Structure 1
Amino acid sequence: MAQITPPGIGDIGADPFFERSPYPFAMVKTILGARFRFDSTHPALLEPVEAAYGGLPRDVPGSPLPSFHLELRLSPRRPAPAWDEPPPVLTQSGAGLLCGIVDAANYVIIDHGRQRALVVVSEDMLDWPYHVRYELIEFAVFVLAARGMDLLPLHGACLGTDGRGVLLLGASGAGKSTLALHGLLEGMDFVAEDAIFVDPRSMEARGVGNFLHVREDALRFIDEGPMRRWIAHSPTIRRRSGVEKFEADLRQGYGHVATAPLALVGAVFVSAEIAADEADMLVPLAHDDIATRLLADQPYAAGQSGWHRFVHRLSEMDVHVLRRGRHPRASVDALRSLLTSRHVASA
């Protein structure tokens, strides 16, 4: 990589806090129904922004968009770090600020009260574009959106049809991503996979439909053709758990990404258990068990504003455990049955 000299660091004594450092590069994106402005000291830091949020489907807002502001600052290249990959982000809070820290030269400071954030990235960290995008920039965007728009952040996915959606919840490895993939291939509306944001007042689910992350073993259920090649030729990313997944870009035109939030009609906890009979794939959860399962599945969301309202509203809907069928298409059919039955009942 060519040497990059961040502007504004020529006289560190005169401006030790970089308060007069210019941000000559800017980009504005509509994300999660809000307006995000990114100001940067160097164009290289706008590349992961474009990679994450460029070309997203846009809905037509019915009211002015909430606005958020991120400052992206490039810091000087450091001596070769003594790690094979960047260490995990450490989180901290205080004085109304939220922080995500990789090290002294790579961190995020979020002032959600003022709807602003600072993201600092060192030159050498640009050699790790996935970590810059996913663990620094997207981290800041998601926290600002959740706190600033009173959305509940969930680890899961969401599929739907005709403006209605079903949450896909469950432990990592249970098969949420594979189910989301086949729902997409079968023509369902895809909201997002990995991070879903729910408004507990309206029970509408939204997300960033940019990437789908699936393991290589998911390809065995896909016939040879353009769809399989699209996934198999996608870049791979390595999660902190060590699991490697394809990162398939949904903006290449495969499947239908929802252009507006979906009104939730229920949720399924995806299970790795295989159903003996496909007629028994969906197991209704007792009303008294729903809150317990949600708390165990979403520990971070359970501590956020709006959690109790969300649990109450979801408990009034259809919540099931979804066991696997012989093929993921059977699971997609089960999801469709939930959406159809709710549609008929509410008509």
Structure 2
Amino acid sequence: MTTTTWPVDPRRIADPFGERAPLALSRRYGLLGATFDFLSDSPELLALVDAAYGGLPAHELDGPTLRVELRMAEDDAAFTAEPPRPRMLGGAGLVGATVDARNLVIVQPEAGRAVVQLSRSMLGFGYHARYELIEFAVFQLAARTQGLVALHAGCVGLDGVGALLMGVSGAGKSTLTLHAALQGLDFLTEDGSFVEPRTLRATGVANFLHLRFDALAWIDDAAVRARAQASPVIRRRSGVEKFELDLRGGWVRLAAQPLRLRHLVFASSEPGRAGALLRALSTDELLERLHGDQAYAMGQPGWPAFVQGCRQLHGWVLARGAHPAEGAAALRSLLMG
């Protein structure tokens, strides 16, 4: 009998998990009140980080320095279609998400660290890699290490004062926030707001705004419409395709610092009368709508303090105008008052 001995890579014996593989490349960005150090063994992976976070104002909340390692998987199996939807996991002080054995993220909030592993095939799906894995690490680290309440809400502001924008899907929040920015308001975030529950200061990542194709009909400025049409098209897991409009470069105002919340606005799909789109809410109505709108946030440790702070906010329902610019004007008048 002949026995064949296969060669063994001694590096694999000494470091079977690849955890000591050198990460010679790095980036540092101020995000969501914290300082993020991104380290990688791959320029392609750092390019995804630069695309997501380059050119953003660094919001300061006296947060910690956090570390995200980005590692390229050694072997690969090409995706024949869109990558599978990530599966959430957690336990023993860890949270994470996994697409498959090569594409996953693991976050250890107590240590302020995360590791993201991506395959070369995943690089062909940059939107999913950024939003479902890299952004997962950033959002979870920022929120959990600083005690921020993560909300599915947009936010715009003026002179340091902010208005949170909530509402059901299809209420036109993205189009509304774009028109608010076009009218000179500070853009904080399209749909991911992070709030210090005791001070009610809100931060977010103002990199992109995602517009449905039919929203172009409401953009009267030819230059802005052309900018949107020239933007990459992303495909949501729902199958809806949208333009990914990059807000950086100085063509709109991005909030330079976290905004102090004063208003909580619920966008409605119901039509309203011109000049009377806003309806004030009582405190009880505000809190009822807030609980109905933020199922995920309700399970976070800072939720009770946030709700208590919201009792001091002004609550509003914003009806749909004949043109999104009317809703944006209503928000502007609210923030100027």
- SS of the equivalent of 2:50 reads helix
Which residue of 2 is the match for residue 66 of structure 1?
64
Structure 2 counterpart of 1:222, from 219, 224, 227: 219
Residue 44 (structure 2) pairs with residue 44 (structure 1): yes
Q: Separation in 1 of the partners of 2:213 and 2:263?
A: 29
Residue of structure 1 equivalent to 2:3 = none
Please give the alpha-carbon distance, in whole angstroms, between the structure 2 residues aligned to 1:328 and 1:307.
31
Q: Contact 2:107/2:115 (CA < 8 Å) preserved in 1?
A: yes
Q: Does 1:108 align with 2:123?
A: no
In the alignment, which residue of structure 1 is the partner of 2:252? 255
Is the counterpart of residue 237 in structure 1 residue 234 in structure 2? yes
Give the count of matched residue pairs: 329
| Structure 2 Cα separation of the partners of residues 95 and 116 of structure 1 | 15
Partner of 1:15: 15
State the match for 2:318 in structure 1.
322
Give the residue type in structure 2 aligned to 1:56.
Answer: L
Contact kept, 8 Å, 1:155 with 1:195, in 2: the verdict is yes
Q: Is the 8 A contact 2:33 2:62 kept in 1?
A: no
Q: Structure 1 length normalisation: TM-score?
A: 0.91
Partner AA of 1:184 in structure 2: A
Aligned residue number for residue 167 of structure 2 = 170
| Aligned ranges 1:125-144 → 2 under 5 Å | 125-144=122-141
CA distance in 1, matches of 2:78, 2:252: 42
CA distance in 2: counterparts of 1:34 and 1:23, whole angstroms = 21
Q: 1:278 to 1:10 in 2, by over 3 A?
A: farther
- Deviation string 1:47-76 (CA, Å, 9 cap, x unpaired) is 1100001111236x5x85510001111112
Give the drift of 1:77: 3.6
In the alignment, what sits opposite 1:93? 90
**Aligned mates of 2:275, 2:62 — CA distance in 1:** 46
CA distance in 1, matches of 2:335, 2:10: 60
Equivalent of residue 287 in structure 2, options 291, 305, 308: 291
TM superposition shift of 1:317: 1.6
Q: How much has 1:292 moved relative to structure 2?
A: 2.3
CA distance in 2 between counterparts of 1:224 and 1:164 reads 27
For structure 2, list consecutive stretches of 5 or more residues without a partner in the other structure.
1-8
Equivalent AA in structure 1 for residue 123 of structure 2: L
1:295-310 aligned within 5 A = 295-310=291-306
Shift of 1:122: 1.3
Note the C-alpha offset of 1:10: 7.2
Structure 2 counterpart of 1:179, from 176, 180, 186: 176
Q: Is the 8 A contact 1:77 1:124 kept in 2?
A: no
Alpha-carbon distance, 1:248 to partner: 0.9
TM superposition score normalised by structure 2:
0.93
Instruction: Kindly indicate whether residue 270 of structure 2 is the aligned counterpart of residue 273 of structure 1.
Output: yes
In 1: Cα distance, 2:78 partner to 2:156 partner: 43
Q: Is the 8 Å Cα contact of residues 227 and 254 (structure 1) preserved in structure 2?
A: no
SS in 2 for 1:167: strand
Structure 1 consecutive aligned stretches of length 4 or more whose deviation exceeds 6 Å: none
Which residue identity lines up with residue 68 of structure 2 in the other structure?
Answer: L
* Letter aligned with residue 187 of structure 2: F
SS in 1 for 2:12: coil
1:64 & 1:305 partners in 2: Cα distance?
20
* Secondary structure class of the residue paired with 1:39: strand
Cα distance in 2, alignment partners of residues 115 and 188 from structure 1: 33
The CA RMSD over aligned residues, in Å, is: 1.6
Q: Separation in 2 of the partners of 1:112 and 1:163?
A: 29
Provide the C-alpha distance between the structure 1 equivalents of 2:237 and 2:261, rounded to a whole number of angstroms. 30
- Percent sequence identity is 49
